[in-house]
Each structure stands twice: as C-alpha cells, then as structure tokens.
A and B are shown apart, each in its own frame.
Chain A
Amino acid sequence: SQTIHQWPATLVQPVGSPLSLECTVEGTSNPNLYWYRQAAGRGLQLLFYSVGIGQISSEVPQNLSASRPQDRQFILSSKKLLLSDSGFYLCAWGLWFYGYTFGSGTRLTVV
C-alpha cells in the first residue's frame, strides 16, 4: 500500500537560518507531489507541486523553494527563514480526481 512520510514533525528555527523539510512516498511510482501550508484562518495554501523528477511548479513567490531529486522524494527549502514562514506544512501525493493523501505535517516555528 502507498504511504507518505514527512519529517520532522516539529521544528523551531531562528530567523535567518536555513530550512529543509522532507517528504517521501512509498508504494507508488511517479506520483504527483505537493507542498501546502496551513495557517489558521487562511486555509490551505498551495506552495509547490511536481509532476516528475526535477519538475517544480511554484504557486506563490516567496522565500521558499522546492526540489524533487528522486521520483518519490520532495523537499521544501529556504536559505534564510523569515518570521512569516512559520506555519504548518503539509506534503501530499496523488491525482486530484482520485483524491490526495496527506502527510502528517511539520509544525515550523521561526523565532
């Protein structure tokens, strides 16, 4: 069966520090992969999505970037974190017409 792993679960980082969040999927090949940010009162904001290795689409210009070095690995990064980057980050895989499967999320607090 397909599973999705996301880590770390929580992270506290100082302003200006780098960020790397990782997401991996098992049990499927060439999945569509997504990064969302969930903020209270703002819902789920799509940040990046990828339909294949090295193919990244950015939805919101901001301080973050994404990479897909392997078929089932999706990484969210930042060179220098801002306070406004705090939030709950969710990775997902799937096809929209079948439904997404979400990871357990990473709570990022930038201090």
Chain B
Amino acid sequence: AQRVTQPEKLLSVFKGAPVELKCNYSYSGSPELFWYVQYSRQRLQLLLRHISRESIKGFTADLNKGETSFHLKKPFAQEEDSAMYYCAPPQGGSEKLVFGKGTKLTVNP
C-alpha cells in the first residue's frame, strides 16, 4: 500500500526565513503527489499538485524519486502561512488519496 511520512508534527520558523515541510513516500510506480493546507477556521484545501509543476503562494514542491520525497518549500515564510499541511499520494490504481499525519507550521513575527 502507498504510504506517506511527514516526520515533523510541528515546525516553527520566523517570518522571512526559509521553510521546508518534509514528505517521504513509498510507491512502486510513478507517483503523483499533492499538498493540502488547512488554515485556522478554514476548510482543508488543495495547495499544489506535482503534476502541475506549479507554484502557489510562493510554495513549490519537487519530486525526488531517488530520495522518494516531495518536500514543500518556500524561500521566505509569511505569518499567513501558519497552517496545517498534509502531503497526499494516491493509493495506486484506485480512486482515493492517502494523507500523511500532517505538519503544523507556525510562522512567528
């Protein structure tokens, strides 16, 4: 079964500092990975998809097949980035996403 590990439950950085939220996956095929974000008192929402090669709110995520990682990065963190972040790979060949346990990011002023 597809598995994803987010090793940090909590991550705290200062405003303007770089931030990296780690995600490691196990998958035998070609993975497609996602990052979801949940801001305080808001719905869980899609942040970005690996397949789109996009940058959303300054965040990027690079798939590293050698390290089986899909870390989320932002060069200069902002206070509004404080949220819960989830990495999610699909369960191969099926209709569902499996979410990691999440990392709570706090950006301090």
Mark A residues whose CB is within 8 Å of B: 32, 34, 36, 41-44, 46, 49, 51, 59, 90, 92, 95-97, 99-105
Contact between chains at A42 and B46 (CB < 8 Å): no
Q: List 19 A-B contacts (CB under 8 A).
A: A34-B96, A43-B86, A43-B101, A43-B102, A44-B44, A49-B96, A92-B44, A96-B95, A97-B32, A99-B46, A99-B49, A100-B46, A100-B97, A101-B45, A102-B43, A102-B45, A103-B43, A104-B43, A105-B43
Report how many A-B pairs have Cβ atoms within 8 Å.
Answer: 51
Contact between chains at B86 and A49 (CB < 8 Å): no
A97 CA to B33 CA in the complex, in Å?
9
Q: Is the interface of B mostly helix, strand, loop or mixed?
A: loop
Q: Is the interface of A mostly helix, strand, loop or mixed?
A: strand
With A44-B86, A102-B43, A105-B43 known to touch, is A96 a contact of B101 (CB < 8 Å)?
no
A67 CA to B34 CA in the complex, in Å?
28
- Contact-size category for B: 20 to 34
